[in-house]
A and B are shown apart, each in its own frame.
Chain A
C-alpha cells in the first residue's frame, strides 16, 4: 500500500530528484519507430546553454521580465556557460579528497546470494521510464529510488553532521572533494563503474544527465525546474573527473551533487520530443543491482527484476552484503487484504504490517503461523524526518482566516483519541511541522491537546457562542461553524469519522470528503480546500524546508502592498506547497535568512523560531507519527543482526535481507508435517527516540 500521495512525494523528496536514466533494449512493438540520433542537438546544447541566475527566474515567474528578454541577454553573452571544459591540470591542488571508506559496513557478512524474492505491487507499472508522465508510481523505487546507485550515498547508520554535512559512502564515485569557498563539489568516477549493459560510466553521462533533466522533452516540469535552478555549472576535467557548482554554500551542499545519478548518454541517443512513447517500455541500463529483462515483463500480471550478472559493485565495501536476491518477482495484487492472504499462503516473502489492524488482528501474535514460527514479526524503530500527517487549514478561506477559529479547531481535533483508541497507542502525537530532523526539531513545542473547554473559549472569542439545533456553533450572523475536511487517503476514512464525532462535541462540524488521491491533491494544489488531512513525504534531509511551505510568495500572488500591509485583492497561488496560505512578513524574513545561511547553528536557531511562529499561527494541526515500521516475513527470509538501518522507511528499502534456500525447504516441509519452530517476535529499539 502506498502511504503518501506520489505527487506529494515528488514535490518533497530530494532522493526522487536524483533520478534515472534508461537501458539499451528495444521491445518488438517499439522498434517500428525509426531510430533517431540527437548527438548534434546535444552537442549544440552543451555549447550554448548558459546559467540564468536564480533572481531572474523569480522575476520571470512574477512576470516582471519576459522569456524573450532572457533569451536576448543570453545571446548577448551576459550569463556564464553551464557546461564547461577544463584540463586535468586545472584541478585545484589543495583539494581534500575523501572516499568515506572509514565508515562502517552495511548489511551482514552472513548474507547468501540467490533465490527469488516474491512480493506484490498494487498496480502494474504504467511505464518503465523513471521520469516523465506516469513514471512516479509504486514501481519506481524498484528500478530507481532503492536500486540506482548515486555518486555517493548518505550512510544510513552514521547520521552525524560533519564539517561537510552528512557522512557519505562511495557509490559510482571513487572519491570526492567539497570546495566550500567556490560552492562546488569535485567528483572522480570509479573507473570500474559500468552500466548494466557493460558500457562504462563517464563524465559524458554526467553532462547528459543535465541535458536530459533540463529538457522539455522529458515532460516533467519539476525536474526541469530543479536541474535548471539548483546547479550553477558542470565542469569536465577528464573522462572520469568533473565538478558541479551549486548556488548556495548550504551545510548540506555536498548532498546536492553526490546524490545524483548520471544518465546513460548512449541509451538516450533517440531522446527527443516523442520520449514518453518511445521509451515507455525500454528499461534504461542501470548502475544498480537489478535490471528488468524484456521477457520478464508480463503486462498486467507480473514483472520480475534480475540481479545484473557480474554487477560491477558486487564486491565493493558497503555494497557486497546487499541486494542479495537473485530475482525479485512482483505480482500484481490490487487489493491489500487479498495480498495478505497470498502472504499467509507463502506466496509472498514479506508483508508490511505497520497498521494496527494488521499487526493486532489480521496477523496477531497468536496466529498459528506466528506461533509455529513459520512467520516472524518484528518492530523496527527508525529515525528520520516524519511525513507530516495532520490537518492543513487553508487560512485564506472565510472563518479560517480568523486565528481564534483555527486555535479552536486545534483544540477540537481529538488526535489523542485517534492515537490512543484507533492506533492503539502505538503511534505518537506529532509536535511540530518538522519532526524527526534530530537536532533541527524544536524540542520545546507541545501540540494543543483535545479540550472542549478551550475550544469553546476560543470559538467564543471568534463570536461563536450559541449552539444551533444540531449542536453546531453559530455566530450572530447565523454562520455555522462548519468546514469540509478532505482527504485523499481512503485508508484514513475511519480517522476522519472519529475526528468528526469528537469535533461535534465542541460545536464544530467537519463535513467529510474522501476523494481519490489525485483529485485530493488537485484540490489542495488549487487551494480549494477548507481543511485537508494529508502529508508531505520527506526524505532524510539534514534540515527542514520552509520556503516551499511557508513563504508568502507561495501563498499569494503579491501577498503584500508596497507599504507592507496585506493586499486586499490577493488570490491564493495555485500549485505551491503553502497549503495553509500563510503570509507573515516576519516569517518571510526568517525564511530568507534561513535560506541564505551557511551556518548550522544559525539555521537551527531560525528553524526553532519559525516553528514557534507556525505554532502560534495554528493553521497546521500536527497529527501523528509512527516512529517504527512493522514487518511480517517468512522464516526463510533472513535479516542482519540489527535488522535494518537507522534511516530506513520500510524493511526492503536497503535490500539487506536474503533468502536461505535450505531453510525454505525445511520450513515448507515442516509445515506439511505439522512441525513447529520457536516463534520470531522481535523489537529492535536501538534507534528509538526518547
Chain B
C-alpha cells in the first residue's frame, strides 16, 4: 500500500516519539499474548505425551482422567493436569505433561493448607500475585480480565466510531433540516443517564443469558449511549471540508454523497478521529471496570479487574495484594494507552505539518 506522504510523515513522527511508540508495541504484544492466554495461563496442559501419543488439551474438548490411565474418581472427572504431571513424574516413564508458565486457570479454587482464602504472592507455588478470597490465582484472573477489557474496549471504540463518524459526517454534509433534527435528537439522547440505563436493563434481563450474551448486551448499551460525542467533531470537520474546492470538484465529476463523504472528506478529517481513539479506549476500560466494581458488569465468576478491585477494597487490610495487583494493573494499562494517545496527538498535530502556509 502506498501511503500518502503526509500520513507517512505523521507515522515517522509517531515512531520518533519513543515513549508512545514503545507503549504502542507493548500494548500490541500484551493484547497479542492475551489472545493466546490459554497457552500461557491455564490449568490445562499445553501438551501431554502419553504412551507415545501426543495430546494438546488447550483448545480441545475436555478429557476425562481415564484417557490418561487414571482410575477411580480421577478417571471419571475432567483431568487435572497439574495432578497428572505429578502422577507421570512419580511413574518416571516417558509420559510427559508440559504445563503453561502459570499453571492455574482463572476459575480454579486452590486450597492453601486445606483452606480457601486469600494467600500472599508465592512464586514457589506458582501464584505470582497471590490468590483471591476463594483461592483463585490473581494473575490468571487479571490476565483474562485484561483480555476481556481490551477486546471490549476495541469493539466499543470501533462501534462508537462507526456510528459517530457516519452520522456526524452526514449531519455536516447534508446540513439543513437533517442536521437540525439530529442535533436535537443527540442532545436529548445524551442526557439520558447511562449508568441508570445499565442498572435498569441488567435488572430485567434474565440471568440465564450466557456470559457472552451479557457482554454483548452491555456493549450494546454502552455504544448506544456513547456514540454521540463523536458526532460533534465530525460534524464541524465535515462542514469545514465541505466548503473546499476539492469537494465541489468531486461533485462536479458526478460523485455521489457516499463517495464524497467516505472517499474525499473522511480521509481529510481522519486526524481528528485518530487522536481520539486512545482516549476512547481508556474510557471503555474505565467504564467496564467501574461497572464490575459496582456489581453491574459481568456476571460471576467472570474474571475482571473491577471485580478484583471490589474484593481488594473489602479486604484492604488483610489481603492488600489483591487491591494492589488490580490497581497497578489498571494504572499500567491506562498509562500505556495514555502514552500512546499523547504520541498520536503530537504526531498528528496539524500545527506542525500544516499544508497551509
- Extra contacts besides A361-B117, A493-B300, A496-B301 (13): CB < 8 Å: A337-B314, A357-B133, A421-B115, A422-B115, A453-B73, A470-B61, A471-B78, A484-B207, A497-B136, A513-B299, A514-B295, A514-B300, A515-B207
Determine whether the beta carbon of A467 is less than 8 Å from that of B64: yes
Q: Which among B61, B62, B133, B300 is the interface contact of A496 at CB below 8 angstroms?
A: B300
Determine whether the beta carbon of B78 is less than 8 Å from that of A505: yes
Q: Which among B61, B76, B108, B134 is the interface contact of A452 at CB below 8 angstroms?
A: B76
In the complex formed, the residue of A with least CB distance to B79 is A471
Does B317 make an interface contact (CB < 8 A)? yes
Residues of A at the B interface (CB closer than 8 Å) are 337, 341, 357, 360-362, 420-422, 424, 452-453, 456, 467-471, 484, 486, 490, 493-494, 496-498, 500-501, 504-506, 511-516, 519
- The minimal Cβ–Cβ distance linking B107 to chain A, given in whole angstroms, is 6
Q: Which among A501, A505, A514 is the interface contact of B107 at CB below 8 angstroms?
A: A501
Could you list 24 A-B pairs, sorted by A, with CB under 8 Å? A357-B133, A361-B117, A362-B315, A421-B115, A421-B116, A422-B116, A422-B134, A453-B73, A467-B62, A469-B61, A471-B62, A490-B295, A497-B109, A500-B107, A501-B107, A504-B78, A511-B208, A511-B210, A512-B299, A512-B300, A512-B301, A513-B299, A514-B295, A519-B203
Determine whether the beta carbon of A484 is less than 8 Å from that of B208: yes
Complex Cα spacing A504 to B107, Å: 11
Complex Cα spacing A513 to B318, Å: 27
- The minimal Cβ–Cβ distance linking A448 to chain B, given in whole angstroms, is 16
Complex Cα spacing A341 to B313, Å: 12
Does B35 make an interface contact (CB < 8 A)? no
CB-CB under 8 A from A506, the residues of chain B are 77
- The minimal Cβ–Cβ distance linking B207 to chain A, given in whole angstroms, is 3
Complex Cα spacing A471 to B44, Å: 13
CB-CB under 8 A from B134, the residues of chain A are 422, 494, 497-498
Complex Cα spacing A469 to B134, Å: 27
Complex Cα spacing A113 to B76, Å: 65
- The minimal Cβ–Cβ distance linking A356 to chain B, given in whole angstroms, is 8
Residues of B at the A interface (CB closer than 8 Å) are 61-62, 64, 73, 76-78, 107-109, 111, 114-118, 133-136, 203, 207-208, 210, 295, 299-301, 313-319
Complex Cα spacing A239 to B318, Å: 61
CB-CB under 8 A from A516, the residues of chain B are 203
Q: A361-B319, A467-B64 are in contact. Are A456 and B76 (CB under 8 A)?
A: yes
Determine whether the beta carbon of A494 is less than 8 Å from that of B208: no
CB-CB under 8 A from B118, the residues of chain A are 361
In the A-B complex, the 9 residue pairs with the smallest Cβ-Cβ separation, listed nearest first, are A513-B207, A471-B62, A469-B61, A505-B77, A361-B318, A494-B134, A497-B301, A421-B116, A471-B78
CB-CB under 8 A from B314, the residues of chain A are 337
Complex Cα spacing A241 to B62, Å: 74
- The minimal Cβ–Cβ distance linking B76 to chain A, given in whole angstroms, is 6
CB-CB under 8 A from B301, the residues of chain A are 496-497, 500, 512
CB-CB under 8 A from B136, the residues of chain A are 497
Q: Which of A420, A469, A471, A500 has the most C-beta atoms of chain B within 10 angstroms of its own C-beta?
A: A471
CB-CB under 8 A from B77, the residues of chain A are 452, 505-506
CB-CB under 8 A from A486, the residues of chain B are 207
Determine whether the beta carbon of A514 is less than 8 Å from that of B299: yes
In the complex formed, the residue of B with least CB distance to A360 is B117
Q: A337-B314, A513-B207 are in contact. Are A498 and B116 (CB under 8 A)?
A: yes
Determine whether the beta carbon of A452 is less than 8 Å from that of B73: yes
In the complex formed, the residue of B with least CB distance to A498 is B109
In the complex formed, the residue of A with least CB distance to B118 is A361
CB-CB under 8 A from B295, the residues of chain A are 490, 514
Complex Cα spacing A486 to B78, Å: 25
CB-CB under 8 A from A513, the residues of chain B are 207-208, 299
- The minimal Cβ–Cβ distance linking B291 to chain A, given in whole angstroms, is 14
- The minimal Cβ–Cβ distance linking B299 to chain A, given in whole angstroms, is 7
- The minimal Cβ–Cβ distance linking B307 to chain A, given in whole angstroms, is 10
Complex Cα spacing A452 to B134, Å: 22
- The minimal Cβ–Cβ distance linking B74 to chain A, given in whole angstroms, is 9
Complex Cα spacing A456 to B78, Å: 13
Q: Which among B107, B133, B299, B313 is the interface contact of A494 at CB below 8 angstroms?
A: B133
Complex Cα spacing A497 to B106, Å: 11
Q: A422-B134, A469-B62, A513-B299 are in contact. Are A501 and B109 (CB under 8 A)?
A: yes
CB-CB under 8 A from A500, the residues of chain B are 107, 301
Q: A337-B313, A361-B319, A362-B317 are in contact. Are A420 and B76 (CB under 8 A)?
A: no
Determine whether the beta carbon of A497 is less than 8 Å from that of B300: yes
CB-CB under 8 A from B61, the residues of chain A are 468-471
CB-CB under 8 A from A471, the residues of chain B are 61-62, 78
- The minimal Cβ–Cβ distance linking A360 to chain B, given in whole angstroms, is 8
Complex Cα spacing A338 to B116, Å: 23
CB-CB under 8 A from B117, the residues of chain A are 357, 360-361
Complex Cα spacing A513 to B210, Å: 11
- The minimal Cβ–Cβ distance linking B284 to chain A, given in whole angstroms, is 24
Complex Cα spacing A506 to B73, Å: 10
Complex Cα spacing A341 to B317, Å: 9
Complex Cα spacing A511 to B301, Å: 9
Complex Cα spacing A9 to B115, Å: 32
Q: A490-B295, A498-B109, A511-B207 are in contact. Are A424 and B300 (CB under 8 A)?
A: no
CB-CB under 8 A from B116, the residues of chain A are 421-422, 494, 498
Determine whether the beta carbon of A470 is less than 8 Å from that of B108: no
Determine whether the beta carbon of B108 is less than 8 Å from that of A501: yes
In the complex formed, the residue of A with least CB distance to B105 is A501
Complex Cα spacing A469 to B109, Å: 22
Complex Cα spacing A130 to B61, Å: 57
CB-CB under 8 A from A519, the residues of chain B are 203
